[in-house]
């Protein structure tokens, strides 16, 4: 396991899983939000995001969590493991709501500096989550179904499955096979 692609909709647990996997494996973790956003919640333009994703994907080792689906084909071609976290919309909305409340005013570790959680951003994120809930899931299902044979696919639909998966890789370190 050298290159791990983690996909899922907002609130599914991508960042949390990526951090845990990075800790267990020693692989470097790349969070899409550090590519998507600049300090102060300034969004990068699409070309810059694509360039930064391609630079990260070109590395020998990574755990790359998140979207920018314009680069998924390149990323999946290099990945040896695709993890799709497929959780219910109700759970994801609840998690995003709790995360915003409990971390309000502070910046999460998967964001650039000066991007504090703010209640005023919650409505826009909820709107995005609601309007893309079906189309994004269909896109992720398609990616998982068409992954190259060199890429193992794991779909996690529960906390229990996620714990079991993490337990199965707990002793894997960089450079060792899984």
User: Who has greater pLDDT, 175 or 106?
Assistant: 106
Encode 119-144: b = buried (16+ Cβ within 10 Å), e = exposed.
eeebeeebeebeeebeebeeebeebb
Domain locations along the chain: 3-169
State the CATH architecture for 3-169. Answer: 3-Layer(aba) Sandwich (3.40)
What count of other Cβ atoms lies within 10 Å of the Cβ of residue 156?
Answer: 22
Q: Is 75 exposed, middle or buried (0-12, 13-18, 19+ CB in 10 A)?
A: buried
Which tens digits make up the pLDDT trace of 46-105? 999 999 999 999 999 999 999 899 999 999 999 999 999 999 999 999 999 999 999 998
Contact 6, 153 (CB under 8 A): no
Stated pTM of the model: 0.91
Which tens digits make up the pLDDT trace of 93-124? 999 999 999 999 899 989 999 999 999 889 99
């Amino acid at each position: 396991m050298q290159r791990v692609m983690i996909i899922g909709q907002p609130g599914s647990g991508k960042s949390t899983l990526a951090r845990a996997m990075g800790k267990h494996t020693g692989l470097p973790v790349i969070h899409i939000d550090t590519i998507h956003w600049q300090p102060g919640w300034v969004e990068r333009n699409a070309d810059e995001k694509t360039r930064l994703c391609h630079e990260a994907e070109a590395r020998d080792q990574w755990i790359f969590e998140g979207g920018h689906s314009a680069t998924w084909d390149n990323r999946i071609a290099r990945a040896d493991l695709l993890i799709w976290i497929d959780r219910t919309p109700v759970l994801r909305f609840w998690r995003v709501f709790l995360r915003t409340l409990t971390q309000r005013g502070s910046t999460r570790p998967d964001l650039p500096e000066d991007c504090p959680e703010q209640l005023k951003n919650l409505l826009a994120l909820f709107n995005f989550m609601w309007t893309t809930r079906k189309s994004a899931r269909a896109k992720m299902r398609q990616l998982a179904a068409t992954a190259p044979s060199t890429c193992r696919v794991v779909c996690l639909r529960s906390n229990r499955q996620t714990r079991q998966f993490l337990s199965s890789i707990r002793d894997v370190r960089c450079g060792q096979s899984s």
